[in-house]
């Protein structure tokens, strides 16, 4: 775990999702496991082609400024990476207007950026883990592994969820 990226890793760019039918089915299942309604899932999944992400990697990767843009609005956030001996939590406001904490760092010699979003009240302590990295074969493809870890204890509303996004650089 480290606070900076590899000198050869730069996630900066404008990215659009590669929205295959298989991805849309996986994304729908992921949202369902996060207890999202049928109507919400259909609107979000069917509008995925209109989404863009702008990433600006700053300070040797210590900060990732991310703007997710879609017809429903934008979500601006800055993720601050930190080392294991000095972990940093950043408070941000998510798209649902919930105040949450995010901890972030680089792994695998600074080639993969991991963040953990905690404190979202509507998921009762569940966590969202995201790993971002460039595809090894296609450097203009950003891979984003999104995992939902449901809260501890019995709950029929939340289940483990995982979806792998692929974005193409515009």
Per-residue confidence (pLDDT) for residue 153, from 0 to 100: 73
Mark the ranges of the chain whose per-residue pLDDT is less than 70.
Answer: 154-156
- Closest to 15 (Cα-Cα) out of 67, 74, 72, 82: 67
Helix axes 21-33, 38-46, angle to 10 degrees: 150
Per-residue confidence (pLDDT) for residue 155, from 0 to 100: 64
Beta carbons within 8 Å of 59's beta carbon, 6+ residues apart: 4
pLDDT tens digits for range 129-143: 999 999 999 999 999
Per-residue confidence (pLDDT) for residue 73, from 0 to 100: 85
Please report the sign of the dihedral spanned by the C-alpha atoms of residue 132, residue 21, residue 17, residue 30: negative
Contact status, residue 94 vs residue 100, Cβ threshold 8 Å = yes
Per-residue confidence (pLDDT) for residue 76, from 0 to 100: 96
Per-residue confidence (pLDDT) for residue 52, from 0 to 100: 97
Per-residue confidence (pLDDT) for residue 152, from 0 to 100: 84
pTM: 0.95
Per-residue confidence (pLDDT) for residue 47, from 0 to 100: 94
């Amino acid at each position: 775990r480290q606070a900076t990226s590899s000198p050869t890793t730069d996630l900066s760019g404008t990215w659009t999702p590669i929205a295959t039918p298989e991805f849309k089915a996986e994304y729908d299942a992921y949202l369902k496991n996060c207890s999202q309604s049928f109507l919400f899932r259909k609107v979000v999944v069917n509008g995925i082609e209109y989404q863009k992400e702008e990433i600006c990697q700053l300070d040797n990767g210590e900060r990732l400024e991310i703007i997710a843009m879609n017809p429903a609005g934008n979500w601006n956030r800055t993720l601050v990476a930190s080392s294991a001996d000095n972990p940093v939590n950043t408070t941000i406001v998510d798209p649902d207007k919930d105040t949450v904490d995010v901890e972030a760092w680089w792994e695998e010699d600074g080639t993969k950026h991991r963040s953990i979003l905690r404190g979202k009240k509507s998921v009762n302590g569940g966590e969202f883990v995201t790993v971002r990295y460039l595809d090894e074969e296609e450097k203009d493809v950003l891979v984003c592994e999104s995992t939902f870890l449901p809260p501890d204890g019995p709950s029929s509303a939340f289940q483990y969820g995982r979806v792998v996004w692929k974005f193409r650089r515009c």
